[in-house]
Amino acid sequence: MRILFIVILAGIAMAQAPTGQESAMLKAVDAEAPAAASFLERLVNMNSGTFNPLGVRSVADVLDTELRLLGFTTRLLSGDAVKRGPHLVAERKGTHGKRVLLIGHMDTVFEPSNPFQRFSRAGDLAVGPGTDDMKGGLVVMLSALKAMQKASALADTNITVFITGDEEAAGDPISISRGAMIAAGKSNDYALCFESAARRNGKDYGTISRRGAAQWEIRVRAKTGHSSQIFTDAMGDGAIYELSRILNAFYEQLREPNLTYSVGMVLGGNGIAVEPGDRATVSGKPNIVPGEALAIGDVRALSPEQVARTKDKMQSILAKNLKGTTADLKFEDLYPPMPPTPGNVALLAKLNEVNKTLGEPEMEPLDPMQRGAGDISFIAPYVDSISGMGAAGAGSHAAGESIDLSRMPIQAKRAALLIYRLTR
């Protein structure tokens, strides 16, 4: 019993108690919580769908004001060249401590035409577009910075805030839409991403790896004519049967660990047209052999090698065309993978020291299969990074998306202490 008691005391001693400034920050977060929830409601009720650049700009203006009040020098980076809303960059230049980059995004998947538009609340549960992904995370970030300011802990720090306006559908080309963010990553020592927290079965996890994402498109062309001639040597098998063969082969032959591949849109017939925003039209008749077929989907993988291997397998499947058909594959890399580097592991250890101070359980690394791609992956090759510092919620990208308001102060405290300790 005495040995066990000593071991317990040793474990308690290992936890770093909050300093005076840290204690002031923790109190400030709690005092700010009601205002933070109100500010979240304001942001959520401002539509900022990725393809609504004016709405994104409106959110940027609100955030710009908040960051300038915290002593940051701010600027907007136009997204006009890639047909997107702006990015917001805010900086504090100091003389001590590590340089920390905080990232997030203003846009959501909910365009103005979507019926899911407004914030509602029942107790600690708030529902609304972008509550979880990721306006809640932006509020967590601001709450942490406000707490640091109230505790006089922002002075002389090196902190950059980079909030994109097109994370849900990055503008093309990436060299323009993510060039400035990549440069910011290269000039900092740590990067913290405030996308939604990873919480599973009441337990928090640290995101130190994320799979990358690539988009693929298959176009099938075939002879067209009267349906009575299908399967003949003269007519062939038609575009839809060929596309069905390809997709079925993908389903059966591409599987491997840490890889997913999804089909998001399929069209077959004649006169296929895909418009911006992924709206599409096609015509067809039951007695005409379809001359065109189109499928669009994505691949998510944990390494560049896995992406390349999958692409090669897809190409080999396309090459075995049915009679009278041809198929072409277009492959576009969207988000690079974020592997679990030693630096990321070490950064999670620093976050777990914060958890000890807060009396929170240790956070294990999240399985990368449990998380999609994100902006953090563009800068992860250049700087030690961790994601999931934002709000805890559920149902992102779908009507009914929600956030647990009771977890926001906890996330803000984690962020404030981690940023503070990194910048000492």
CB 136 within 8 A of CB 391: yes
Cβ-based burial of 126 (10 A; exposed 0-12, middle 13-18, buried ≥19): buried
Write down the pLDDT at residue 14: 58
Match 């130190």 to its residue by tokens: 208
Instruction: State the Cα–Cα distance between residues 138 and 238, nearest whole angstrom.
Output: 50
Q: Would you tell me the crossing angle of helices 408-422 and 20-44 to the nearest 10 degrees?
A: 130
List, for the chain, all residue ranges whose pLDDT scores fall below the cut of 50.
1-13
Residue whose structure tokens are 């996308």: 195
Q: Parallel, antiparallel, or unpaired for β 364-365 and 203-206?
A: parallel
The Cβ-side half-sphere exposure at 77, using a 13 Å CA radius, reads 18
- The pLDDT tens digits for 235-270 are 999 999 999 999 999 999 999 999 999 999 999 999
Q: How far is residue 53's CA from residue 49's CA, in Å, rounded to a whole number?
A: 8
- pTM attached to this predicted model: 0.83
Collapsing DSSP to helix, strand or coil, 360 comes out as coil
Peptide bond into 106 cis (omega under 30): no
Alpha helix stretches (DSSP H) within 111-178: 136-150, 174-177
96, 250, 303, 313 from 308: Cα distances, Å: 42, 15, 9, 9
Written as six digits, the tokens of 395 are 């149902």
Q: Give the three-state DSSP class for 60.
A: helix
